[in-house]
């Protein structure tokens, strides 16, 4: 009992001593005593030099997007059911027509197919023989012909060959069903919310997207050098390994061959066409002007083959003529 009382008194004494020291120190420091061993470090007066940021110190913020220099609307011919022009760098929409409408992609689908193929460990120098099941809707390759996969790649994207696409998918290392699943997964990864794919060629009307997502699909696809350099090729010679002659393949992009006259340099044109009965004439193309400003133009459902190219060209020329980019003279006058 005695020991417990001693322990209690000791604890109580320590507590009283602590309270006394706390009270003493608060009075001592408040008094402004200059004894250095009792001083805590103090912060100096806040300054605007260094890390402190105030509105007056901020640089003027200016938009980096293209800005319209006038109020003129596009007045050219447009038979397209839907169309859009998008600045490649900022995704700013420069022109739009019925862009919420979700339409069949047709062979523009092949851009997604190409990206998925490049995600897979394919040996492009390996060879395959075209089968009866591969051949579908074109005559660029024939049954029993042998090609390298790289040759088929060029035939598929330059000549828009469905048969070549089927042969490539067959040699991709995954089933066709799984391949289509990968296409839809890729669409989600790229945030193409309207895009849906049912097969890899574009022959199905169930491969669909709106114009804005199609422009984004084109922009993302062209980031792959193998896609860009291929769809930018106007003329290609395929070489069946068990055949006697090379086969010339023309691009389906008539801006690239200048069959539809235009002022864009060949190296600044890269796109993909599409056509099925359900879609009409589709075209998605990247065009760059002499100032290195790049836009993506999508035309859905034009009434004629030639029309899709001339309408895309006219929309591009209008956009470059009616918008200024940050490095253009006069851009400063459009900003506040």
Is pTM, for the whole model, over 0.85?
A: no
CA atoms of 293 and 324, how far apart (whole Å): 10
Given a cut of 70, is residue 40 above it in pLDDT? no
Per-residue confidence (pLDDT) for residue 260, from 0 to 100: 98
Sheet architecture: strand order including 93-97 = 93-97, 82-87, 294-302, 280-288, 269-276
Average pLDDT over residues 77-90: 96
Q: Which CATH architecture has domain 67-334?
A: 3-Layer(aba) Sandwich (3.40)
Per-residue confidence (pLDDT) for residue 98, from 0 to 100: 97
| Domain assignments of the chain as residue spans, ordered by start | 67-334
Average pLDDT over residues 127-146: 95
Per-residue confidence (pLDDT) for residue 336, from 0 to 100: 67
Total Cβ atoms within 10 A of residue 52: 9
CA atoms of 108 and 227, how far apart (whole Å): 13
Q: Which two tokens stand for residue 24?
A: 């003493």
Nearest to 159 by CA among 217, 105, 207, 230: 230
Q: CA-CA distances (angstroms) from residue 126 to 129, 147, 168?
A: 11, 8, 11
Given a cut of 90, is residue 128 above it in pLDDT? yes
Buried/exposed code over 65-102 (b: 16+ C-beta within 10 A; e: otherwise): ebbeeeeeebeeebbbbbbbbbbbeeebebbebebeeb
Per-residue confidence (pLDDT) for residue 7, from 0 to 100: 53
Per-residue confidence (pLDDT) for residue 63, from 0 to 100: 59
Given a cut of 50, is residue 9 above it in pLDDT? no
Q: Which residues lie across from 3 on neighbouring strands? A: none
CA atoms of 276 and 32, how far apart (whole Å): 88
Confidence of residue 335 (pLDDT cuts 50, 70, 90): confident
CA atoms of 218 and 290, how far apart (whole Å): 21
Among 25-34, 155-164, 273-282, name the one with the lowest average pLDDT: 25-34
Given a cut of 80, is residue 269 above it in pLDDT? yes
Given a cut of 60, is residue 91 above it in pLDDT? yes
Task: Answer whether 210's CB lies under 8 Å from 103's CB.
Answer: yes
Per-residue confidence (pLDDT) for residue 18, from 0 to 100: 53
Per-residue confidence (pLDDT) for residue 137, from 0 to 100: 84
Nearest to 111 by CA among 306, 271, 301: 271
Contacts of 26 (CB under 8 A, 6+ apart): none
pLDDT digits (tens, 9 = 90+) for 46-61: 443 344 444 455 455 5
Element housing 282 (H / E): strand 280-288
Q: Which residue has the tokens 């800005």?
A: 67
Average pLDDT over residues 70-95: 94
Q: pLDDT exceeding 70 applies to what percent of the chain? A: 81
Q: What mean pLDDT, rounded, does the chain reach?
A: 87
Among 2-11, 47-56, 71-80, 312-321, name the one with the lowest average pLDDT: 47-56
Among 7-11, 138-142, 301-305, name the one with the lowest average pLDDT: 7-11
């Amino acid at each position: 009992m005695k020991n417990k009382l001693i322990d209690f008194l000791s604890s109580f004494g320590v507590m009283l001593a602590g309270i006394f020291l706390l009270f003493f120190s608060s009075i001592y420091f408040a008094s402004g005593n200059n004894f250095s061993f009792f001083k805590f470090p103090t912060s100096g007066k806040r300054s605007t030099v260094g890390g402190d940021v105030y509105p007056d110190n901020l640089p003027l913020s200016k938009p980096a997007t293209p800005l319209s220099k006038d109020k003129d609307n596009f007045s050219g011919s447009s038979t397209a059911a839907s169309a859009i022009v998008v600045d490649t760098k900022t995704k700013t929409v420069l022109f739009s027509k019925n862009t919420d409408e979700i339409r069949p992609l047709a062979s523009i689908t092949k851009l997604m197919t190409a990206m998925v193929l490049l995600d897979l460990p394919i040996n492009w120098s390996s060879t395959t023989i075209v089968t009866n099941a591969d051949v579908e809707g074109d005559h660029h390759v024939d049954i029993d012909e042998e090609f390298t996969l790289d040759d088929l790649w060029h035939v598929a994207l330059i000549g828009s060959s469905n048969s070549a696409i089927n042969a490539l998918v067959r040699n991709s290392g995954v089933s066709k069903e799984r391949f289509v699943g990968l296409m839809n997964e890729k669409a989600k990864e790229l945030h193409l919310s309207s895009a849906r794919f049912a097969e890899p060629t574009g022959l199905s009307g169930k491969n669909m997207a709106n114009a804005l997502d199609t422009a984004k699909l084109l922009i993302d696809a062209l980031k792959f050098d193998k896609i860009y350099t291929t769809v930018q090729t106007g003329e290609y010679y395929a070489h069946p390994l068990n055949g006697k002659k090379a086969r010339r393949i023309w691009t389906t992009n008539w801006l690239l061959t200048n069959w539809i006259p235009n002022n864009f340099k060949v190296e600044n044109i890269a796109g993909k066409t599409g056509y099925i009965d359900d879609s009409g004439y589709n075209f998605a193309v990247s065009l760059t002007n002499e100032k290195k400003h790049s836009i993506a133009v999508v035309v859905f459902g034009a009434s004629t083959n030639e029309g899709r190219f001339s309408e895309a060209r006219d929309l591009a020329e209008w956009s470059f003529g009616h918008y200024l980019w940050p490095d253009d003279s006069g851009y400063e006058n459009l900003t506040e």
